[in-house]
Structures are given as structure tokens and as C-alpha cells.
Chain A
Amino acid sequence: MNRFWLFLLVLTGLAAAPTPSRETGIKIGSKKFTENVIVGEMVAGAIRSAGVRTTHYQELGGTRLVFNALVQGDIDAYPEYTGTMIEETFADREIETDAELIAALAEKGVLMTQPLGFNNKYAIGMQKARAQELAITKISDLGRYPELKLGFSNEFIDRDDGWKSLQQHYSFEFEKVQGLDHDIAYRQLASGDLDAIDVYATDAKIKSMDLAVLEDDREFFPRYDAVILYRSDLGKRYPAAASVIHQLAGKISDRKMIEMNLAVEGVERETEIRVARLFLNESLGLDIPIEPRESLFQSVLSRTIEHLDLVRRSLVPAILLGIPFGIIAFSNRISGQLVLGVVGIFQTIPALALLVLVMPLVTAVGARSIGVGSLSAVIALFLYSLLPIVRNTYAGFQGIENQYRESALALGLSRRYTLFNIEMPLAMRSILAGIKTAAVMNVGFAALGGLIGAGGYGQPIMTGIRLDSLSLILQGAVPAALMAVVVQLLFELVDRWVVPRGLRLKPVN
């Protein structure tokens, strides 16, 4: 039993150890796609070159999450698109002019720069050769060929402002239109199975696949001008930073953005940070050193450190609280059902939903809710890890044969003494099995940190999915699997060391 206390003490020490300090200062965020990350890097690089400490939390999540993070003050700035704000962020309002958009943002304490230059709107793309063959340059030209095979991403088919409206707007009547996954649409376009698909105007594939983007001659698609959103208090806190942000306005053309997207997503596999710095040096005349790429070893190492940080900060509190919860659950039937029920419910909440629930709470108590070292992912992981520990502690106590409790009572041992010296050792196997399960699950679940830029192995997995890079996905998945195995072995050893010897023996007869 003493060994168990020692084990808990070591764990507590582990959890109490400080998280390695991170650069802070101005916090830039970015959404979960290449272009946004590149522009986010540009903003961070430009501010940094003005002598202000800046951190870029890459790939934080989708529009809503990142916008809320900005409003709540978790980040100070991020790149956004006018069309996205009109169609999504302020979908409940009828916003038509820039002035209305600026006013809506101002209500939230957010300012917007002038457009950066590129317009990442929806567009229709065709193979160049095919377009030339049919003499198609404008979207209205498509109407001459109702036999063309069109394929659109499912999202574009479903949206009110998508295919249905486009069809009406241009009075199209096509025989064959199908909805499909966007990646597959590109592949079918390349193979000639489709003649035209929806694309984003600054998509890297426009260049890599040499596509013709048809002119929107009847102005159907809304503009998706890229801008930088930043908090209105940024100018007061960092006057230099606010003015630097505006320098990016009008500097990035569609063509340049496509090029940079391709540099990251194409065969070059450049990093966003290098692409962004090269651009800053070129267009703003800055002189930022372009560091060599991080080696595979370095990047896996820093992901490992981040991952372990998430695991230890969530698993240890789960162990320290899960065991008492399990005992409480056992000792009283009503509170027991309550504890087991609540802990069980956490398990059923999808990771993203749980994070979205936790984040405002974390912000409310003044802790950092997104990015590396943030508390949100830790709390979500903590909640996920509770169930196996609480359950197994409960089951361990329930599994103690009545004769032992009766003996303890008959020998006149106090409740407290019986709990710590009889029941706990007897339930130890089950408790440790629960801890083991929780630990292995935790290592796997910690990849959810990638959802809110909390680092760890989830980060390369998310980036890998975004860039369709198997090697990046494996850079996260393989070490995560290895870590799970190592953790399993480690707790196996703890089990050997902590479980009383008498409980590991098989009876002689």
C-alpha cells in the first residue's frame, strides 16, 4: 500500500510540474486550411519584425471557433473572408455593404483591414484544353452545352447560395449534375469523367492542374475578399502592431496566393512559415531570416513533448479524483448512480462538442482556452479519462468478498483503517486496470488537441489530412501508437510493483 501512495505522490509531482513556457505577446490565430495558415504566418512575421513578441496558433479550427476566440480575446487577430462573414458569421443579418459589415464587427469589438488583394470566392473550373476546345471562357458559355457533365462538392450542391441559385441565375438546364467529395471531383476532372467542377478561386490545384477559371460574367458569386480581423483594443495595447497589419492590405494577388498555396500543398512541400517569410521579405521589403526546415526528429520530438504534456496534465488529475469518485460511487447508492451517470455522459459527448462546451468556461476563469499549453484540451481529456478509473474503482470495491469486510468489522478495525488498509489493497488490481485503460485511451484521445491547436501528435495528423499527406499523418499516428504501447508497458510495471504480492498468487488448492 505504501508503494501505491508513493506512486500517487510521483504522479502528483508530474502533474504539478510547470508546462514549458511558450512565447506569448500578441496572439495570431488561423483557420484550418493552408491559405489561412500562410496569411496568419505573414501577420505574425510582420508584427514580429516590428519588434513585438508574437505567437501564431496555427490551425485552431473552423470559422465559428476562431471568430469566437477573437471576440473572447484568446487571440488578437486572424485572416478572414468578407463572404464568409456575410454568409456564415452574420448569416442571421442582412448584410450587403462593407459599411454594414464593419458596423457588425464593431459591435463585437473587432476591426477589419482593407482587402489584402485576393478574392477566394467560389468559381467554376475546367481543364484548359477542354475549355479551349469548346471555346468556353465565361460561366454563361456553359449554357450552350447542356450535355456537359458537371460535378460539385456536396457542400456546394446543398447550400442555398450554391448550385441551385447558380442554375437559376444563369438559366441553366443540365442533364448530368452530381454531388461528390471535393477531392474526388478534382480527380474526375483530371481523368475527363467530369467537364466542370466548383473550385475556390485561389486553390493551389488551379495552378498544379492548369485549370481554366471561368469568368463569373453575370456576377453570381459573392466576393470572398481576404482581410485581417483584429481586436479593437490591439491598437491601444500595441500601436506598432496595428499599423503593421494594415501594411498587408492590397499586397497579395490571386495569382500570388495560388502560387503560395501550391508551394505548401504541391510537391515542394514548403512550410507555411517559410513561404510567408519569403513573401514578407519580397513585398514589404523586410529582412526576416528564413530558417531551414525543422528536421523530422526535431518536429517529432517537440510534438512528443506537447503530447506528453497534455497526457500528464489530464491523466494525473483524473487518477487523483477518479479513485475517490469511485469510492463515493460505491459507498452510497444514490450518489453512486449520479457519479457513474455523469461520468458516463462525458464519454458520449463527441470530442469537438466537448471542446466547444469547455472553451468558454476556460476563458471565463481567465485561463488560456486554445493553442499550445491551453487548458481546454486538458479538461476534455480529463473528463474522458475519468470513466474507466471511476468505474474500475467502483467495480474493485464491489468485487471485494463480503467475508473480508466482515472480518475487518469483527476485528474491530475502524472504517478509515479498513478503507485504506483492507479495501484499497483488495481493489488495487481493478483500480490499476482502470488507470491503465484510461492512460492508453488518453494517449489516443490527446490527438484531439489538434482540433484546437493544442499541439501534440494531433497537429501533424490534422495538417496531414489538410494537405492530403500520408507521411504527415503517419508522423502523428505512429508515435501516438508507440506512446500508447510504452504507456501500457509502464503501467504494467507499476501494476507489478504496486499490487500486493498475495493477490497475484494462485491458491495452492
Chain B
Amino acid sequence: MTKISDEIAVLRLSKISKHYEGLRVVDEVDLLIEKGRTYALIGPSGCGKSTLLRMIMGLIPSDAGVVYYNGRRLAELDVRTVRAGFGYVIQSGGLFPHLTARQNVVLPAAYRQWSSQKVSQRLGELRELTQLPKDCLDRYPAQLSGGQRQRVSLMRALVLDPEVLLMDEPLGALDPMIRSQLQVQLRQIFHSLNKTVLMVTHDLSEAAYFADQLILMRGGRVVQQGSLDSFVREPASPFVTAFIDAQKSHLGPAEKSQ
């Protein structure tokens, strides 16, 4: 049965739960992810945001609830189609150390037996997009800087031109200088791509800088969803205010650029 909301939603989560040894890590979460918008999942560590992202990605099964992808149950869809629809970037990059940057990026395409012409064309587009220096392509992950690694990882996530980009603390492992540089660049990329993006971060200013919609989680539940403005003006609970206050001392690029 298709709901009206499915027409605008790329992803719809209905009562998604996950338990670990009796602990409710994710507790009956309902969520609507609309086409073309950028979302940030935020919250203190252990609030279940990464687990939720992994369940959407299908990397771990949920204990209860349903994920709808374009109106259809995710679990019933062909795995290959689903995988091609989602790009995924993790904090450590997840680049395979035995492959060069180039081999890493083209792996999903080569696996799907793209022609070499198509592969190299796509590689060129992505390098331009991420502005990765050309000589980096033939290096191994161990020979790349942290920032370069994350850009290669992003290229790999985008190589199949997925509909949705899921990112788990993509900048979390970087030092502050590189991090703020990459934030600016990443925002430009998001804007030029016009993709649906769902990003996990613990940093409120980063979340506000990238996303039009913030989703604040606590103890496995969604506390509030909306813009940073709405969080400040109409906090759903004292926790929202406390969370914002705790992060205020941070002066991220969000404040700087405005």
C-alpha cells in the first residue's frame, strides 16, 4: 500500500528498531527523507544515529520496522539495484588498502562490468568534482593524506551516480584545518549534485552548515526534526536547548560564512 508521502519521499522509515543485548539502540524511529534535500543526523554519541544509518544502508538488519525506498519495501528489492542507489562514506574512508585510489574508485563500476571508456569518463568527472590531484590516483591509501582519502572515498561512493548519499562522520577523522577546508568543498559538491544526502555527525555547526534538515536523536529516539532555527525557537524538549548550548562554544564555518 502506497502512502501519499511516498511520492515525495525517497526513504521512509516506519517504526525501525534495533536491540543489542536488551538495550534499545534504535527505538521505533519514523522518518521521512525527501528527494534532493540534505539531512544531518545529530546527537550525542551512543544515541543510535550510526546504527540507524547502517540499517537504512542494509548493512545490519533491523529487529522491527520497515524501510521504504521509493515507496517499496527495501528488503524486497534486488540487492544490486539497492546498492547502486546508495553511496556510502564512512569516517575512516573504508578504502581498500591493497588497491590504488583509482582501483578503489572504479571498483563498483568494474564489478558491474562497465566499459573502460565509460569508467574513465566517470573517473574524470569525479576528479574534477572533488578536485583530487591527478597523481593521487595511482597512490595507495597509505600514501594519501586524510583529506585526500576522504575525497577518494567520496568519489567511490559517487561512481555509480547513486540517488542517495549516506555519510557517517565523513570528516570526523580529519584535523581541524583540513576539516574546515573540506567542509566548504563538500558543501559546494552537494549543491552541484542536487542529490539526497543523509549525513551523520556529532557536530551541530557542521550539521547546520551542510543540511537544511537536522534530525536530533537521543537514546534511540528522534527528539526533534527541523532547521537549526526551529530548534532554537521551538525546542521540543529541554534536551534540545541543552544540546545546542553545549555546542555553542564551537565556532564552525557555519557562523563564519554567515
Whether A404 pairs with B111 at a CB distance below 8 angstroms is: no
A413 to B140, CA, bound (A): 20
Q: Is the CB of B142 within 8 A of A403?
A: no
Q: Is A508 an interface residue (CB 8 A)?
A: yes
What A residues does B107 contact at CB under 8 A? 411, 413
Give Cα A492–Cα B211 distance, bound, in whole angstroms.
52
Q: Which of A395-425 contact B (CB under 8 A)?
A: 403-404, 406-407, 409-413, 417, 422, 425
User: For residue B97, which residues in chain A have a CB less than 8 angstroms away from its CB?
Assistant: 426, 500, 502-503
What is the CA–CA distance of A412 and B88 in the complex, to the nearest angstrom? 11
Interface core residue of B80, B82, B96 (most chain A CB under 10 Å): B96
Provided the pairs A406-B90, A508-B145 are in contact, do residues A502 and B108 lie with their beta carbons within 8 angstroms? no
A159 within 8 A of partner (CB): no
Interface size class of A (residues with CB under 8 A): 20 to 34
A285 CB contacts on chain B under 8 angstroms: none
Residues in B whose Cβ lies below 8 Å from that of A406 = 59, 90, 94
| Cβ-defined contact, A502 with B80, below 8 A | no
Min CB distance A416 to B, Å, is: 11
CA distance A413 to B86 in the complex (A): 13
B145 touches A407 (CB 8 A): no
Query: Which of B47-66 touch A at CB < 8 Å?
Result: 57, 59
Complex interface: chain B residues within 8 A of A411 (CB): 83, 88, 107-108, 111, 156
Taking the complex as formed, is A507 at the interface, i.e. its CB lies under 8 A from any CB of chain B?
yes
**Complex contact B141–A502 (CB within 8 A):** yes
B99 touching A502 by the CB < 8 A rule? Answer: yes
A409 to B92, CA, bound (A): 16
| Complex interface: chain B residues within 8 A of A409 (CB) | 59
Q: Is the CB of B140 within 8 A of A410?
A: no
Residue in chain B with minimal CB distance to A425: B98
Q: Which residues of B contact A407 (CB under 8 A)?
A: 88, 90, 94-96
A500 — which chain B residues lie within 8 A by C-beta? 97-99
Question: Secondary structure of the A side of the interface?
Answer: helix
The contact string, 1 if C-beta is below 8 Å from chain A, for chain B 94-110, is 11111110000001100
- B64-85 interface code vs A (CB 8 A; 1 in, 0 out): 0000000000000001101110
Contact A505 B84 (CB under 8 A): no
Is B96's CB under 8 angstroms from A410's CB? no
Are A403 and B108 neighbours in the complex by a CB distance under 8 Å? Answer: no
Q: Is A501 among interface residues, defined by CB-CB distance under 8 A?
A: yes
C-alpha spacing A425/B96, complex, angstroms: 10
Residues of A near B241 (CB, < 8 A) are none
Whether A506 is near chain B, meaning CB under 8 Å from some CB there, is yes
- The verdict on B144 contacting chain A, using a C-beta distance below 8 Å, is yes
**A404-B94, A410-B86, A500-B97 are known contacts; what are 12 more A-B pairs with Cβ within 8 Å?**
A411-B88, A411-B111, A411-B156, A413-B107, A422-B96, A425-B98, A500-B99, A501-B98, A502-B96, A502-B97, A502-B98, A502-B99
Nearest first, the 3 A-B pairs at minimum CB distance are A412-B83, A502-B140, A500-B98
Interface residues, chain B, with chain A CB atoms under 8 Å away? 57, 59, 79-80, 82-84, 86, 88, 90, 92-100, 107-108, 111, 140-146, 156
Question: Can you give 30 contacting A-B residue pairs, CB < 8 Å?
Answer: A403-B92, A403-B93, A403-B94, A404-B94, A404-B96, A406-B94, A407-B94, A407-B96, A410-B88, A410-B94, A412-B82, A412-B83, A412-B84, A412-B108, A413-B107, A413-B108, A413-B111, A426-B96, A426-B98, A428-B98, A500-B98, A502-B97, A502-B98, A502-B140, A503-B98, A505-B142, A506-B142, A507-B142, A508-B145, A509-B146
